[in-house]
């Protein structure tokens, strides 16, 4: 269970670093709006993964502590 998620963490870190680099490049190329759009896209992608993980956490807590 642990190994699957470590890969996920590295994937998201990769996305973050890539976006960091691309926004720098875009800023140098005088394309500020596209840099901001790219950052927004990155945030949305990571947020999708986070919502899924939060869903998993809440379902497991609900099933274990029979919270309804």
Q: Which residues bind other proteins (CB under 8 A)?
A: 1-2, 5-6, 8-9, 12-13, 15-17, 19-20, 23-24, 39, 42-43, 46-47, 49-50, 53-54, 56-58, 60-62, 64-67
Q: Tokens standing for 45?
A: 């992608």
Contacts of range 3-10, beta carbons closer than 8 Å, 24 or more positions apart: 8/49
Nearer to other proteins, 20 or 29 (CB): 20
Minimal distance, residue 31 CB to other proteins, in Å = 16
Cβ distance 38 to 26 under 8 Å?
yes
């Amino acid at each position: 269970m642990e190994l699957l998620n470590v890969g996920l963490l590295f994937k998201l870190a990769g996305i973050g670093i890539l976006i960091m680099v691309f926004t720098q490049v875009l800023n140098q190329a005088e394309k500020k709006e596209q840099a901001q759009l790219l950052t927004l896209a990155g945030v949305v992608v990571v947020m999708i993964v986070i919502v899924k993980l939060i869903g998993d956490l809440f379902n497991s807590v609900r099933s274990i502590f029979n919270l309804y």
